[in-house]
Amino acid sequence: MLAISWTLKVSNEEVLRRVNQRRELLHTIKIRKVACLGHVLRQERYELLQLIMMGKLQEEEALVAEKKSWLRNIREWTGIASAAELFRLAKDRQEFTKLTANLR
């Protein structure tokens, strides 16, 4: 695209600056994390993992200390307060894909 020779040893940051882009690692992590949750909740073969996640949530809600958990991050990023609602939504692949696409 920019015709930069590899022998010029231009850094990745410089290439991104030249094309007016920036790294979006956190955005990529959010998308993959939410997509992974949807995948796990839709597949029957992950039934044990689903039970563990749901059981962990009930225990977690009783904790007084605010600890950031994997699911708490996803709930904050998606704006869905209830884990049960998040699990219900994950079962509908099209709706969950829309949710994943609207992450910031």
49 in any annotated domain: yes
Q: Is residue 47 part of a domain?
A: yes
> What pLDDT digit, counting tens, does each position of 18-65 carry?
898 888 888 889 999 888 888 888 888 888 887 777 765 444 555 545
Interatomic CA distance for residues 62 and 68, integer angstroms: 14
On whether residue 1 sits in a domain, the answer given is no
Residue 66 CB coordination number (10 Å) = 7
Quick: pLDDT tens for 65-85: 556 677 888 888 888 888 888
Instruction: Give a yes or no: residue 61 inside a domain.
Output: yes
Taking only the tens place, the pLDDT of each residue in 10-19 is 998 898 898 9
96 lies in a domain?
A: yes
pTM of the predicted model as reported, rounded to 2 decimal places: 0.54
Beta strands in 13-80 (DSSP E): none
- What domain count does the chain have? 1
Residue 75 inside a domain? The answer is yes
Structure tokens at 7: 């022998």
Domain residues for 71?
A: 6-101
Task: Please indicate, yes or no, if residue 85 is contained in any of the structural domains.
Answer: yes
> Is 54 contained in some domain?
yes
